[in-house]
Amino acid sequence: MPTQGLDVGATEALQRPLLAERDRDATILYISTQLEEVMAMSDQIAVMYRGEFGGVLDA
């Protein structure tokens, strides 16, 4: 998990530049098991199970 073990300030410092790039339409691959974190960071979410894509959803 990208932010596991980080305090709130460090998490925001990590996510802020990624969100800025997302807002500029950059493609970012963000992998996490934390659904809330993924939804906050994403426009779309691709679900994988056993190495197969289960679908792509709007966040």
Q: What is the pLDDT of residue 21?
A: 92
Check: pTM over 0.85? Answer yes or no. Answer: no
Question: What gap in Å lies between CA 46 and CA 59, rounded to an integer?
Answer: 10
Question: What gap in Å lies between CA 29 and CA 22, rounded to an integer?
Answer: 10
Question: What gap in Å lies between CA 2 and CA 30, rounded to an integer?
Answer: 8
Residue 55's identity, in one-letter code, is G
Question: How does residue 57 score in pLDDT terms, banded at 50, 70 and 90?
Answer: confident
> What is the tens place of the pLDDT at every residue in 5-55?
888 899 889 889 999 998 999 988 888 888 888 888 888 898 888 999 888
Question: What gap in Å lies between CA 29 and CA 9, rounded to an integer?
Answer: 22
Residue 15's identity, in one-letter code, is Q
